[in-house]
């Protein structure tokens, strides 16, 4: 596929899991991909995977929990055609036991970084009259769970930003959508959810967990002109879980 030929894309949290799969997928579609994350050795691995697939990638180190780093990242990346807000953390706690610092951090990474990175990069898209932003939210933003209420709130917030930005920037030709994954087999998800991961995955109508590549496909679609009339949408990619 070459639907992103000549485009520049930035993917946050692309040093592992879903973000890495998205970075490789967008590069295979022809985009020059700015891979961002905190750990240089892992970022370089993603760039190597991109190069092995025949694409072009650049790593920019950034800790998006730090607002100064978010702004520096936006400056270093410059104008982009596609922005994928994927970096996210999911610390699970019950509400009475939720520590304040991890509350601030999960909102900082999942919502504040998404917000201010978009704020910094969207003006160039508006000036160009074209651009695509994809927020990687979660079905956690649509359903309740016994632990992780803060995480769920951040993901619902991301979907709310998707709808607001679709309205705010649609007239300028900038499309904004969410992909809301269900259980996806990444190291972090399997470790965090523990043995419940397999059980939860099997309870999906498709009876299995998703793979990072399956989320990357959904992101590529929304980032490409194939989705030219789609904005403000939340594309749930969850094996049918929220349909049950
Ligand atoms: P992951 O831990 O592999 O990916 C998260 C990425 O974000 C990592 O690369 C991590 O380094 C990066 N990140 C975290 N904090 C950061 C910070 N302060 N600065 C810069 N980068 C930071 O896990 P994943 O499963 O690939 O998750 C990716 C996204 O998908 C997350 O937003 C997550 O909420 C969402 N999601 C995952 C699942 C799942 O089951 N795996 C389900 C729904 C949604």
Phi and psi angles of residue 13, each rounded to the nearest 5 degrees, phi first: 65, 40
Cβ of 64 less than 6 Å from ligand 1:
yes
Atom 6 of ligand 1, nearest CA residue: 13
Torsion of CA 185, 189, 193, 196, to 10 degrees: -10
Identified catalytic residue from 34, 115, 151, 229: 151
Q: What is the pLDDT of residues 81-135, one digit of tens each?
A: 999 999 999 988 999 999 999 999 999 999 999 999 999 999 999 999 999 999 9
Instruction: Give the per-residue pLDDT at 1.
Output: 76
Q: Is 14 exposed, middle or buried (0-12, 13-18, 19+ CB in 10 A)?
A: buried
State pLDDT tens for residues 177-215: 999 999 999 999 999 998 999 999 999 999 999 999 999
Q: Are 137 and 160 in contact (CB under 8 A)?
A: no
Query: Residue 171 C-alpha to ligand 1 middle, in angstroms?
Result: 31
Confirm whether 229 is a catalytic residue: no
Q: What is the mean pLDDT of residues 19-41?
A: 98
Tokens of 23: 């970075």
Counting from 1 in the atom list of ligand 1, the atom nearest the Cα of 140 is 43
Cα Rg, the chain, nearest whole Å: 17
Cα 149 to averaged position of ligand 1 atoms, centre (Å):
17
Give the per-residue pLDDT at 91: 87
pLDDT value, residue 127: 98
Atom of ligand 1 nearest to the CA of 185: 41
């Amino acid at each position: 596929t070459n639907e992103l030929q000549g485009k520049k894309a930035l993917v946050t949290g692309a040093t592992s899991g879903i973000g890495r799969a998205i970075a490789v997928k967008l590069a295979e579609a022809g985009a020059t991909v700015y891979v961002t994350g905190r750990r240089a050795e892992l970022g370089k691995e993603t760039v190597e995977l991109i190069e092995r697939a025949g694409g072009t990638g650049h790593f920019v180190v950034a800790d998006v929990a730090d607002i100064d780093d978010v702004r520096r990242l936006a400056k270093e990346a410059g104008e982009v055609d596609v922005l994928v807000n994927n970096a996210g953390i999911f610390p699970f706690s019950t509400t009475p036991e939720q520590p304040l610092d991890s509350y601030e951090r999960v909102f900082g990474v999942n919502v504040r970084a998404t917000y201010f990175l978009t704020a910094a990069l969207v003006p160039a898209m508006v000036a160009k009259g074209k651009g695509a932003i994809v927020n990687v939210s979660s079905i956690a933003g649509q359903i309740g769970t016994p632990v992780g209420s803060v995480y769920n709130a951040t993901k619902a917030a991301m979907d709310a930003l998707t709808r607001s930005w679709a309205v705010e920037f649609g007239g300028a030709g900038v499309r904004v959508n969410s992909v809301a994954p269900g259980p996806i087999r990444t190291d972090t998800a399997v470790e965090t959810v523990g043995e419940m991961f397999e059980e939860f995955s099997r309870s999906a109508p498709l009876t299995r967990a998703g793979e990072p590549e399956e989320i990357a496909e959904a992101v590529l679609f929304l980032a490409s002109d194939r989705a030219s009339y789609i904005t403000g949408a939340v594309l749930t990619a969850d094996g049918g879980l929220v349909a049950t």
